[in-house]
Amino acid sequence: MTGAPPRARERIYLSSPDVGSREEELVGEAIRSGWIAPLGPMVDEFERRMAERCGRRHAVALSSGTAALHLSLLNVGAAAGTVVVVPTMTFAATANAVAYTGAEPVFVDCDPVTGNLDAQLLDEALTSLQDEGTDVVAVMPVDLMGRCADYTRITPVCDEHGVPVISDAAESVGATHAGRPAGSFGLAAGVSFNGNKIMTTSGGGMVLTDDASFADRVRYLSTQARQPTLHYEHTEIGYNYRLSNVLAALGLAQLERLDGMISRRRALREQYVRIFADVDGVRVFQRDGDGADNCWLSAVLVDPRTAGWAVDDLRLALAEHDIESRPLWKPMHRQPVFAGARSFLNGAADQLFATGLALPSGSALAPAQCEQVMRVVEDFLGAGR
Ligand SMILES: Cc1ncc(COP(=O)(O)O)c(C=O)c1O
């Protein structure tokens, strides 16, 4: 017999990279141009276009979103003996970036509806920290799962306390808040182009800012802090954090396709909304007002007493069909590595972690894969639930 053996059914992931012929074309162009060594014209062009898209004057392309947060924090003086306030409801990278600088992360809880930093609690936290004489050098709101934090309320609170905002926009590229793009808020913002993000360079990130000297210093620190001399002269510790020209090519292609990728994620969100519409005890997370979100991940929140089942039951049903789903971020104040850190809590992040499940949300999912996910969810809901 001839012919290829039948392919095993492919696992369905939460958010796989969505790359195609345009990415192949531009990466090929970067390779053929000879700009393989770090930096090159595609890095410049990627920075220019991202700055334009995000409404910023300056952009610096880096090797990860974590690097973008790290260098931004160093720029505002984060160091041993200082504090950076971050939401407890986030991925570890936010708090890790603080720890790299030697500063202490202090965690603040979230709004139960959006999962984003609670502005009122932030105000209380800043008041009490500053009353004690603590040196708070930054507040780092996170745009959780593609929903911008409430900068309309957070920015005046931070201004009042005289603390700069460094926005963690790793998950929100393409989203907007109050008509302004994600990445445009705060003194600077860090975005991520990790493989699971809405647009990817396989790995990468960027600092976005309107402040030229801030951008210059990020550029300097990210290239080993070299003094402008012919020989290698260093007066400070630097980092090797720049994005390569080949990966910037990937980013340029992804940026061209960003709006289409957001539309596909939004369409998937709408399918979940329809499927769960009449299910008691279940709501689609961040559904209210999601028109400005990038819908990076769609998730459900389940009240087991009303629904008669818990999120883990749905997770297991999906896993049986090789479909990935995951609890929402485990709050930072619950992480063993940050045990003992100061926290200002209202219980919302714990509740989201206990009741939330992120579902396959990627724009690369084929129609047949989307149908399969919906079928498995419907069968689960139909099985006497
Ligand atoms: C909220 C948040 N902050 C920071 C990061 C770090 O980005 P990167 O993986 O590009 O370092 C991520 C994603 O990984 C994230 O989800």
pLDDT tens digits for 13-52? 999 999 999 999 999 999 998 888 778 899 999 999 999 9
Q: What is the pLDDT of residue 384?
A: 57
Atom number in ligand 1 closest to CA 205: 10
Looking from the CA of residue 69, the nearest atom of ligand 1 is 4
What was the pLDDT predicted at 122?
98
- 308 phi and psi angles, rounded to 5 deg: 85, 5
Q: What is the pLDDT of residue 7?
A: 47
Token couple for 302: 């389940």
Kindly give the confidence (pLDDT) of every residue in the chain, 385 residues in length, as a single tens digit, with 9 standing for 90 and above.
333 444 446 899 999 999 999 999 999 999 998 888 778 899 999 999 999 999 999 999 999 999 999 999 999 999 999 999 999 999 999 999 999 999 999 999 999 999 999 999 999 999 999 999 999 999 999 999 999 999 999 999 999 999 999 999 999 999 999 999 999 999 999 999 999 999 999 999 999 999 999 999 999 999 999 999 999 999 999 999 999 999 999 999 999 999 999 999 999 999 999 999 999 999 999 999 999 999 999 999 999 999 999 999 999 999 999 999 999 999 999 999 999 999 999 999 999 999 999 999 999 999 999 999 999 999 999 985 5
- Residue 371 amino acid letter: E
Q: DSSP 3-state assignment of 209?
A: strand
CA angle (329, 78, 353) in 5-degree steps:
10
Extract the tokens encoding 140: 């780092």
Q: DSSP letter string over 259-321?
A: HHHHHHHHHHHHHHHHHHTT-TTEEETT-TTGGGS---SEEEEE-HHHHSS-HHHHHHHHHHT
Q: Which residues contact 57 (CB under 8 A, 6 or more apart)?
A: 51, 209, 210, 211, 212, 215
User: Cβ atoms within 10 A of the Cβ of 199, count?
Assistant: 27
Question: How many alpha carbons lie under 13 Å from residue 217 in its C-beta half-sphere?
Answer: 17
CA of 207 to the centre of ligand 1 (A): 13
Pocket test for ligand 1, best of 64, 96, 107, 192 (most atoms within 8 A of CB): 192
Residues with CB under 6 A from ligand 1: 64-66, 90-91, 93-94, 142, 168, 170-171, 192, 194, 205
58 CB-contact burial (10 Å; exposed 0-12 / middle 13-18 / buried 19+): buried
Q: Residue 170 Cα, ligand 1 centroid: separation in angstroms?
A: 5
Residue nearest to atom 9 of ligand 1 (CA): 194
Residue-level length of the chain: 385
Closest ligand 1 atom number to CA of residue 171: 16
Residue 365 CA to its chain's centroid (Å): 20
- What atom of ligand 1 comes closest to residue 143's alpha carbon? 1
pTM, two decimal places: 0.96
**pLDDT, position 102:** 98
Residue 314 phi, psi dihedral angles, 5° rounding: -65, -40
How far apart, in Å, are the Cα atoms of 307 and each of 144, 278, 316, 347, 385?
25, 11, 16, 21, 8
